[in-house]
Amino acid sequence: MSADRLEARAWLVDKPAGPTSHDIVREIRRRLPRGTKVGHAGTLDPFATGLLVILVGRATRLADRISARAKTYRATVRLGARSVTGDPEGPITPGGPIPGRPAVFAALDAIATRTSQRVPLYSAVRVDGQRLYEHARRGEEVATPEREIRILGLEPVQFRPAAAELTLDLEVTKGTYVRQVAVDLGELLGCGAYCQALRRTAVGRLRVDDAVAPDLVPYTDPVPLTSLLANMPTLVAAPADARALVHGRQVDFAAEPGELAVLSDRGELVAITASDGERLRPLSVFIDPEQL
């Protein structure tokens, strides 16, 4: 399999618990031609499972656009205990007695309206030039930054007081730490809590139901790049215009101002462009001239 054939490809992968997102990328890179660029669109913690969008070659240029979309999760929250990391990796210490259903559901309503969140101490966010988890592992006290977030949906699926478990479905904006949502819920209830299990079920309209195991990449068909574009308007360009865009030139084309995806006459993604109403300017190119 040549490197040329792997330009601008994408796979939806169902990440298992254990490896980091970077581990999955490294594993896939080893199976591709030397020098092939591989990335992902949105990190999952090692304990988490679910949808990881793998991007190869020029498709990595879509990473920021995809990772900016809302993400959907199913989370299992363990009540009555606290974890230093907010997840099963711990250390874990006992918490307090678990309140009844009315108090739990009232706390969920309060959590759902929050518009900011403290970044967990055990995270990769940099403070004073170093990752927060590096400060934490050295026992250093450091103020964690606060982020604006939105919880677009928060629905209880199952509350099992005897098992001290609460299962939730959440839809959140980029940068929201679901394990911190669990921690904040526990502190609001006074009993403590952490995220015991986490599964990402969707990134925008992309679904884990359509994903494959990591070891099947690149041996299964990639997803069409057009499926990664969400609601971006598209147009089919004449071959001459497509070649001009690939070479970095603007082309005359009347369209609503904004970003548009340009496709070849075979339906392949050629470029993402910016329209000023009269011309298209290429922002990112996804195909080689000889492929047109």
Task: Report the distance separating Cα 283 and Cα 245, nearest Å.
Answer: 9
Residue type at position 241: D
Task: Report the distance separating Cα 110 and Cα 104, nearest Å.
Answer: 10
DSSP assignments along the chain, one per residue = --TGGGSSEEEEEEEPSSS-HHHHHHHHHHTS-TT--EEESS---TT-EEEEEEEEGGGGGGHHHHHTS-EEEEEEEEESEEETTSSTTS-EEE--PPP-HHHHHHHHHHHHT--EEEPPSSSS-EETTEEHHHHHHTT---PPPEEE--EEEEEEEEEEGGGTEEEEEEEE-TT--HHHHHHHHHHHHTS-EEEEEEEEEEETTEEGGG-B-GGGTTTSPPPPGGGGSTT--EEEPPHHHHHHHHTT--EE----SEEEEEE-TTS-EEEEEEE-SSEEEEEEE-S-GGG-
Task: Report the distance separating Cα 8 and Cα 75, nearest Å.
Answer: 33
Q: Which single residue is written with the structure tokens 């330009």?
A: 7
Residues with a catalytic annotation lie at: 45
State CA 221 to chain mean position distance: 21
Task: Report the distance separating Cα 232 and Cα 81, nearest Å.
Answer: 44
Q: Which single residue is written with the structure tokens 């498709």?
A: 59
CB atoms within 10 A of CB 166: 26
